[in-house]
Amino acid sequence: MPTTQTSLRTITLGALLDTNMPPRRHLLAPWLREQESVLVWAAPGVGKTMLTLSLALAIAGGGELLGWRAPHPARVLIIDGEMPLDDLQGRLVSLSGAIGGIDMDAARSNLKILARHHQAPDAAFPDFGDEKQQDAIIQLIRSYDPAVVILDNLSTLATLDDENGAAETQRVVRLLARLKQARIGVIVVHHSGKNGKTFRGSSMLATTFEVIIGLTRDAGADALDPTGSARFNVEWTKFRGLRDASIGDRSVLLKETPEGLRWTAETPQDETLNALAVLVRSGKFATRNAAGKALPKHLWPNEDSPPSDGWISGRFKMADAKGILPKREVDALLKAAGEAEGDVEADLHDDL
């Protein structure tokens, strides 16, 4: 429990209604405002740290990624529990070029990093699972005056004997609530559970967050991408605000280009692949390209022009890798459709 005691305050309805409360500003529009908390969870190696480092750069430098924009540069504190400093340096250098419109001068001063591996071996690093340290942790974070603090990741920063225990998880929840009272936004990075379909530990953890984002591996894309670029599906499992087109389940890609790393997003792969399977199984198309170009426009990579032959070929390979539309089945269906098309043409020729 906190060691200091402050008298609790109340407010009458009249005073509350008469109080002029300026709206909380967005740190990253449209989904992260001042004083809000976010949970980002994923299995190891999916890309959660790459995404949250990019979020930190965008907020600190007033930049944009994946349709989310920081209206103004703001202070960010990253507390990292496991990554060596040279790895952090390399990733931030690479990712800075993937943030649109970033003010790097602002980011260089606004983004601060408190990393376990930057400390002397005998330095005491904060334990976010120890309730006795909460006062000191709050004071430490407030000394950096951040608009948002990123905790990467919960398992390395908080010692919990039983992550599934509601009582132990409640200690972390109380700390996050106190940070919210201090008007500090929080992004918590956490691991997924064994099934990969939700975050690890007690469901009690979800209570304090306005936003919960799950990153799930796109196994088919991983198998097909020889460059090692990160691709994952973004799933919004909790969101208390108003949604727009940028707040929805999407397939996200971080890919190396001649200009450096770039973030892109598109409709989740399974929706596209399942739609392609429906078209092929309709028996109306004799070629892969014909079926691919018949996809609804909202599934095209660019709604202003039909998909390229190469893009269509890639979707078919992905559908095969994920077992949604096996190549053997495609070949048989396209052959049957082609033969049926040939029979119709022959009949018309005979009639003539």
The answer to whether 164 and 127 are in contact (CB under 8 A) is: no
Does some domain include residue 35? yes
Instruction: Say whether 301 sits in a helix, a strand or coil.
Output: coil
pTM of the model: 0.76
The answer to whether 284 and 274 are in contact (CB under 8 A) is: no
Q: Which residues contact 131 (CB under 8 A, 6 or more apart)?
A: 1, 171, 174, 175
- Sign of the CA dihedral with 255 first, then 259, 98, and 75 last: positive
Does some domain include residue 318? yes
Q: How far is 294 from 292, CA to CA, in rounded Å?
A: 5
Same domain, 138 and 275: no
Residue 185: CB atoms within 10 Å: 25
Residue 51: CB atoms within 10 Å: 25
The answer to whether 163 and 202 are in contact (CB under 8 A) is: yes
DSSP state of 199: B
Same domain, 53 and 101: yes
Residue 91 is which amino acid?
Answer: R
Total number of domains constituting the chain: 2
Does some domain include residue 186? yes
DSSP state of 97: T
- Could you tell me where the beta strands, DSSP code E, fall in 192-304? 211-217, 230-239, 250-257, 260-266
Place of tokens 């605000």: 241
The answer to whether 60 and 106 are in contact (CB under 8 A) is: yes
Token pair recorded at residue 295 = 């996809």
Expressed as residue numbers, the domain containing 130 is: 24-266
Same domain, 277 and 259: no
Q: Which residues contact 167 (CB under 8 A, 6 or more apart)?
A: none
Q: Which residues contact 261 (CB under 8 A, 6 or more apart)?
A: 94, 95, 97, 98, 254, 255
Same domain, 61 and 148: yes
Same domain, 279 and 234: no
Does some domain include residue 107? yes
Does some domain include residue 5? no
Place of tokens 């999407």: 250
Does some domain include residue 78? yes
The answer to whether 26 and 73 are in contact (CB under 8 A) is: no
- Return per-residue pLDDT of the chain as tens, 352 residues: 445 567 899 999 999 999 999 888 999 999 999 999 999 999 988 899 999 999 999 999 999 999 999 999 999 999 999 999 999 999 999 999 999 999 999 999 999 999 999 999 999 999 999 999 999 999 999 999 999 999 999 999 999 888 888 888 999 999 999 999 999 999 999 999 887 788 998 988 999 999 999 998 865 444 334 444 678 889 898 987 777 777 877 888 888 888 888 998 876 667 788 889 999 999 999 999 999 999 988 788 877 788 999 999 999 998 888 888 999 999 999 999 887 655 545 444 444 4
Which CATH number characterizes residue 253's domain?
3.40.50.300
Which H/E stretch holds residue 65? strand 64-65
Q: Which residues contact 203 (CB under 8 A, 6 or more apart)?
A: none
Same domain, 227 and 279: no
Same domain, 57 and 78: yes
3-state SS string over 129-196? CCHHHHHHHHHHHHHCCCCEEEEECHHHHCCCCCCCCHHHHHHHHHHHHHHHHCCCEEEEEEEECCCC
Same domain, 252 and 336: no
Looking at 239, 266, 293, which one is the last position of a domain? Answer: 266
Looking at 226, 241, 266, which one is the last position of a domain? Answer: 266
Does some domain include residue 11? no
Same domain, 97 and 229: yes
Same domain, 80 and 38: yes
Same domain, 133 and 100: yes
Residue 79 sits at φ, ψ, to 5 deg, of -110, 110
Looking at 266, 294, 321, which one is the last position of a domain? Answer: 266
Same domain, 257 and 284: no
Does some domain include residue 8? no
